[in-house]
Structure 1
Amino acid sequence: MSNEQSSPGLISWLLLIVLALVWGSSFILIKKSLLTFTAGEVGTLRMFIAFLGLLPFSLPVIRKIERKKLPVLFVVGLVGSLLPAILFAIAQTRLESAITGVINAMTPVFVLLIGLVFFHHRIKTINILGIAIGFVGCTFIMLGGAYFDLSGVNLYALFVIAATVMYGTSVNLIKHYLTDIRSLHITAVSFTLVSPISLGYLLTATDFLDKVGANPEFLSGIAYVTTLALIGTAMALVIFNKLVKTASPIFASSVTYVIPIVAIGWGLFDGEVLNIYQIIGIGIVLVGVYLANKK
């Protein structure tokens, strides 16, 4: 490992901050997009615009990839991008963006858990403890939001958890079957493979076309989704890949701990309110994520 990798410089730290701001802002952008579009429209439109933005990266390489790997890339696009994009949007129709951003931090936990169960990864006891604590934190957030009144528990948090499970599945598939393909190309090609589903759903199963020109909020809604797609997806991936190369994968993955802080900040700025139980739950989740990733 080079000195540059073992000791992240100023540029690496700046890139990490930018990446955290970009990804942490995704949840408030979803919230604003939902003022104009349905959850299905936000998810599929986000994916299709991101596909267009990443097209210059996918076109030169898609024909060079082994045919047997294309089905895996399709599944990665489906469970690692398209379905989570829709699930996050559905969740945020009933869930605060700050809470969504915190539960999203459980992604590394599910990466470990799915690796352990389905791919026979070996992990330490401290990691298992972190996984357990993470689940306790998520439960605390859900129950605490209703002040532990079971009748008022917001089950939409389960959509976010389902999305993080899918992220965990996607990461493990990439790790086991696609290690010889650059991560940027994996993303670009996987987006290309699922783009017909995104466009098909958008045009045939939603009222998106009826909103074009008819909805006075259409342009502002498109602006939010486009920002979410091009900056929150395409640009963020470029920054992340740069970080992995110039610093290290471990340093790059530390953005996981900063994203919830940014998401909470945006939520509070937008008038969202967190009670003391949710704040405690947030702290528990972050401790769990830290222990789950501890080497």
Structure 2
Amino acid sequence: MSENTLKWFYLLVLSLIWGSSFILMKKALIGVTPFQLGALRTVMTALILFTVGLKYVKTIDKPAWKWIALTGIFGSFIPAFLFAIAETEIDSAIASILNSLVPLQTILVGFAVFQMTSTKRQILGVILGFIGTALLVVEGADLNPHQNYLYAGYIILATVMYAFNVNMIKSHLQHLKPLTIATGNYVVILIPALIVLVWTGFFKPASFQQPELKMALMYIFILSFFGTALAKVLFNKLIRISTPVFASSVTYVMPIVALTWGVLDGEGFSALQGFASVIILLGVYLANKRA
């Protein structure tokens, strides 16, 4: 398989995996708290990655550990909690569509921090993307008055962190294998995740008496294995053989997958929200379109 074909294959697989992650988080939150979800997702992913990638950690050179730590925190640890908190108030499909801002944030962060150039078309795409976001959030608040759409801010903050993650990997960790980067990330963030679990009282005997916990753990394991461990390695491979903006374009297809799951689960979605979603994706398309 050629490199060009391979990068499109990775993009499609990641879209299907990550597009399904939002409904898995929603289901898991029935049995655990948002902080427990974020921490359990991190711990399970770490254990999965360590079984195959721990032997490669010794190949990480000393200067790279700073970037390994930063990409672990910005690309995995904090966003796991931000998405879990957000989905306590907003629908899973909306969370996925807001996640489509990642390519636009990647351009902004690349321009502002990593001295990457931006074209007028990219700037227009960014503007359109944020107009669509505003429409999506405002309409969502009207359509679901019982939900607090200020929690959409958690998703937007997570997209900024993902943008930093993509740019840091591309700029500073290209010499390392994708599995090495992913495993190194979780070496750094495993202990903080365990501390969070202790802090939330997860290990107390009373926690294991909750009837919803067993199903929640199953959803979190699926989320950890496919949505984090496998997907993170594939995503790092995608970054390696493409550009940061192309890699973050996985968000093109993700909303379609997530929206399908959301509708099947009974989530409401208006025509205006559909229009706002199209505006966001148009903005992402313009920002990524070659001259």
In the superposition, relative to structure 1, how do residues 149 and 243 fare at CA in structure 2: closer, same or farther (>3 Å)?
closer
The answer to whether residue 63 in structure 2 is matched with residue 68 in structure 1 is yes
Aligned to 1:59: 54
1:136 to 107, 131, 147: 131
Aligned-residue sequence identity (percent) comes to 39
Q: Does 1:206 align with 2:200?
A: yes
Mapped contact 1:145–1:277 kept (Cα < 8 A): no
Tell me, yes or no, if structure 1 residue 119 matches structure 2 residue 117.
no
Give me the whole-angstrom Cα distance separating, in 2, the residues matched to 1:288 and 1:72: 30
Residue 161 of structure 2 corresponds to 166
Instruction: State which of 75, 85, 101 in structure 1 corresponds to 2:96.
Output: 101
Displacement of 1:266 in angstroms is: 0.4
Name the CA shift for 1:151/1:59 in 2 (closer, same or farther; >3 Å).
closer
Q: Which runs of 5+ in 2 are unaligned?
A: none
1:166-189 deviations in Å (ceiling 9; x for gaps): 001111121222121122211111
Q: CA offset at residue 42 of structure 1?
A: 0.4
Cα displacement (A) at 1:13 = 6.3
Given candidates 187, 196, 203, the residue that maps to 1:192 is: 187
Q: Which residue of 2 aligns with 1:280?
A: 275
CA offset at residue 252 of structure 1? 5.8
Distance, in Å, in 2 between the alignment partners of 1:45 and 1:237 is 16
Distance 1:136 1:96 in 2: 20
Does the CA-based 8 Å contact 2:60-2:180 persist in structure 1? Answer: no
AA of the residue aligned to 1:220: M
Within the candidate set 21, 26, 29, 1:31 is matched to 26
Which residue of structure 2 aligns with residue 290 of structure 1? 285
TM superposition shift of 1:71: 2.0
Looking at structure 1, the residues matched to 276 and 235 of structure 2 have their Cα atoms a distance apart, in angstroms, of 28
**Inter-partner Cα distance in structure 2 for 1:281 and 1:158:** 17
Q: Which runs of 5 or more structure 1 residues have no equivalent in the other structure? A: none
Q: How big is the alpha-carbon RMSD for the aligned residues of Structure 1 and Structure 2? A: 2.5
Report the residue type matching 2:272 in the other structure.
Y
Q: Size of the alignment, in residue pairs? A: 288
**Equivalent residue, structure 2, for 1:5:** 3
Counterpart-to-counterpart distance in 2, 1:239 and 1:177: 18
